[in-house]
Structure formats: C-alpha cells, structure tokens
Amino acid sequence: MDRIDRKLLNLMQRDASRTNIDMADEVGLAPSSCLRRVQRLRKSGVIDRIVAILNPAKAGRGIKALVTVELKLHGETHMRRFLDIAVAEEAVSQAYSVTGETDVVLMLRLRDMEEFDALCERLFRDENNVARYFTMIVIRTAKEETAIRL
C-alpha cells in the first residue's frame, strides 16, 4: 500500500459516495488507474465493505448503551455460545470478547427503555451463564469515528 492508496482510503472513509472521477482528480490519477486501485484494495480485503453511516436518532435508535458482561463459565465454547446469542440481537451493534475483569463488552443502539428491558430479559436474566452485567447509558458522545487514519 503506497501513499496514493492511503490517500484514496482516507477519501473513501470520509465519503465513499464520491465518484471515481472525483477521487481520481483529487489524488492525481487517471480514472481507470484509480478504479483499478480501489478494486485491488477491495479484492485484497483492505476495504472490507462500503456502507452508509446512519444518524442513530433519526433512524429511531437514539439511545446508546455500553454493557459489560461477566460470564460464570469460561472457555471458547461458553464464550462463543454467549456471543452467538448476543450478535443475533437487533439492538447489539458491536460485541467484543475482551481481557480484564469482564468477559464481553456490548454496544447497544436502542429505540427506548422498553426495548432495553426486553433485551435484558432475553440476554442477561434468562441466560444461565451470565454472572453479572453492568450497563452505562451514554449521555454525550465526544467522539465516534469509523475511519482508521492511515
């Protein structure tokens, strides 16, 4: 990956809806060369996918919560089982197996507290492998970035 690839990737991370001609002009390439580079970056897996980033509040999911989960039973089988259940939940936008005092960290995007309560019943209270869970409702977001600076 060279300087031009990094420049293209930074442009696409800011706004992937830009035309190939616009990006080619900005990085100083012919449109065909620019397109080949982007296709190569996609094929190699550097570009994982191209998505639209929604405004959560306008999309009806204005409540954001972070949940840490401590499991009773550990090991890959138990972790995988819990994560499989968690990622199937519509409100779970991110799920991580982590090191430290907790086992799992979940990011939730919720419509309302009723949805949160129902999710807690299904995921934490009914799930016999959850020892404890702690919820933090996000009051203000200081930074939320999807771009990886290159």
**Which parts of 6-150 are beta strand (E)?**
63-71, 92-97, 104-110, 130-137
| CB-based contact 104:82 (threshold 8 Å) | yes
Question: What is the maximum alpha-carbon separation in the chain?
Answer: 59
* pLDDT tier at 125, thresholds 50, 70, 90: confident
Whether 117 has a pLDDT exceeding 80, the answer reads yes
> Mean pLDDT across the stretch 20-28?
97
Please report the pLDDT score of residue 128 as a whole number: 75
* pTM of this structure: 0.86
